[in-house]
Amino acid sequence: MSFGIIVATHGNFGKEAVETVKTIVGEIDTVEAISVEFGKNIDEIQEQFERLVNKFLKKYRRVLIFTDMFGGTPSNISFGFVKPGKVEVITGFNLPMLIKALKMSMEEEKKPLHEVVLYLADYGKDNVKIASKALA
């Protein structure tokens, strides 16, 4: 496996996204979600991130963290773990990005993480469509 994936979001959004993707792609162990619940102790959340990042670094040596929005608590905590080439963060993810990332994480080919992140960011943007234009 080439990298582990953490989906960190406000509330249960990330857990639901991971469950939805597993329904589409199948059961895989390269992804886990962290829910940042309102009112939860920030130190506990930080420790949860640290445990999961370290677990995935040990198992896969590279980690990609998806967060729901730039500037939110999940992103701000994630930024503290960025290590170019080892741990990267993409904010504002969508379901097509997550599906593609999971498929890429199962491939034997090991592209550099910065290439994976650039590809996924473009892929996510390309999958945002305006129906009246896409169907015309």
User: Tens digit of pLDDT per residue, the chain (136 long)?
Assistant: 589 999 999 999 999 999 999 999 988 889 999 999 888 888 999 999 999 999 999 999 999 999 999 999 999 999 999 999 999 999 999 999 999 999 998 876 678 999 999 999 999 999 999 999 888 8
All structural domains of the chain with their residue ranges = 4-134
Burial of 13 (C-beta count, 10 Å sphere; 0-12/13-18/19+)? middle
Q: What is the pTM of this model?
A: 0.93
The domain over range 4-134 is classified in CATH as 3.40.50.510: yes
